[in-house]
A = this chain, B = another copy of it.
Amino acid sequence: MANNAVDYEIFEAGDLELKSGETLRGARLAYKTHGNLNANKDNVVVFPTFFGGKHTQNEGVIGEGRALDPNKYFIIVPNMFGNSVSSSPSNAMPPYNRGRFPSVSLYDNVSCQHRLVTEVFGIGKIALVTGWSMGAQQTFQWGSLFPDMVERIVPVCGSAKTSRHNFVFLEGVKAAITADDAWAGGSYEKPPLKGLKAMGRVYAGWAVSQAFYREEIYLDLGYPSLEDYLVDFWEARRISADANDLLSMIWTWQNADISDNHLHNGDFSKALGAIKAKAIVMPGRTDLYFPPEDNEAEVVQMPNAELRPIESIWGHLAGGPGFNPVDSSFVDDALKEILAN
C-alpha cells in the first residue's frame, strides 16, 4: 500500500502472533526501497534499521558509487517494530498501545520482513543482508532463519545474541528513563524529559570509547565543548524520541538471540551453524557493549564467516551508517568486496 504523504511504504501484515505469546494487532511494517528489482530478482539487499533509527538514517550510506548503489541493487530498508515508524507503542491503536504494546522479538521482526520480501515482491534470493547494531542483530537473524535464501551477510557492530553485559548496560538505560515519575508506567501525558535526558547521559559514556573522549573528537565534530556534545547530541536525540518506543526496542534488544525459536530451541551453536551465507562480521574494536570478543566467539561457529574488526576509537558508533567517513568507508569496502564474490 502506497502512502503518498510520507517517504515510505507500508506492508499491512495483519495480526501477528508473537514469540512472546502476545499478539501484535494490525501490524504495519514500514519500509523504503531504493533502486529497482531486476528481472531475475537477484539484486536484492535488505538493510534493517538500528535502535532508535528510522529508514532515513540508513540513507547516508546508500548512493551511486557506494556498495549499496541503487543503480545496481534493489535495497529494502525495513523499519524495526518499535522505531516509531513501523508499529510502535506511540502509533499503535488503543488499548494495545503505549505501555501495553506487546513484546516483539527480532525473530518476529525478521519473520515479518520475510513476508514483505516474499509476499509483496516475490523474492526468492537475497544477495546481502547488512545492518548496524540492532540492524546487525537482525542480519544474523536473517542468516540463521533463512539460510537457503540469504547469500551474504555483513553484520556491523552487533551480535547474534545479546550478551549478559550488554543486557546489564541496557538495564541502566531503562532505569534512567523509568526513574522519572513523569514516565508513569508508560501512561505519560507529557514526555518524561528528565528520564530521557538521563538516558542520553548514560548512553554517552557507552556509545563511544574512552579514547574518543581522550582525543576530544567531539570538538572535531563541531561541538564547542563536552557539555555541548552531551546536550546537543545525546540528550537531544533521546528527548526527540518516544519513551515507550525506546523501551519497546530495548526489550527487543535485551532478548535478541537467534537460537530462541522453534528451529533451534536455544541451541546457540546450532543457530550459528545454520548460517550458510558468506559472512564478514565487523565489530568495532573499541565497542563497549558489543565488544569484538562476542563476535569472535560467534564467527568460529559459523561455516563461512570472517571476522573483520573496525580499527577505530569511535566505539559502537564506528559502524553507524555515515557517522564518520573513515569507518564508513572501511565498511563500504567490505560490502563491495563481498558483493563482488
Contact = CB atoms under 8 A, between A and B. Distances in A.
A293 interface: yes
Question: Which bucket holds chain A's interface residue count?
Answer: 35 or more
Contact of A176 (B179, B214, B288): B179
A172 B179 CA distance: 13
B194 A164 contact: no
A213 B168 contact: yes
A257 to B, nearest CB: 15
A204 B171 contact: yes
Interface string A156-193: 00000001110111011011101111100000000000
Chain A interface helix/strand/loop/mixed: helix
A28 interface: no
A242 B163 CA distance: 32
A202 B172 contact: yes
Contacts of A211: 293
A204 B172 contact: yes
A334 B206 CA distance: 32
A205 interface: yes
Contacts of A182: 181
Most B CB contacts (10 A, CB to CB) among A169, A179, A197, A216 go to A179
B176 A172 contact: yes
Among A198, A200, A213, A288, find the residue whose CB has the most chain B CB atoms closer than 10 A.
Answer: A198
B210 A165 contact: yes
A175 B198 contact: yes
A179 B195 contact: yes
A19 interface: no
Contact of A210 (B171, B203, B293): B293
Contact of A201 (B171, B201, B226): B171
A164 B198 contact: no
B175 A205 contact: no
B293 A205 contact: no
Contacts of A212: 165
A197 B195 CA distance: 14
A230 interface: yes
Nearest to A163: B214
A204 B289 CA distance: 13
A206 B209 CA distance: 13
A289 B204 CA distance: 13
13 contacts: A165-B210, A167-B213, A168-B213, A171-B201, A171-B204, A171-B205, A172-B202, A175-B202, A179-B180, A179-B194, A179-B195, A179-B197, A180-B180
Given A168-B226, A172-B201, 12 more contacts: A164-B216, A164-B226, A165-B210, A167-B226, A168-B230, A169-B205, A175-B198, A175-B200, A178-B198, A180-B181, A181-B182, A288-B288
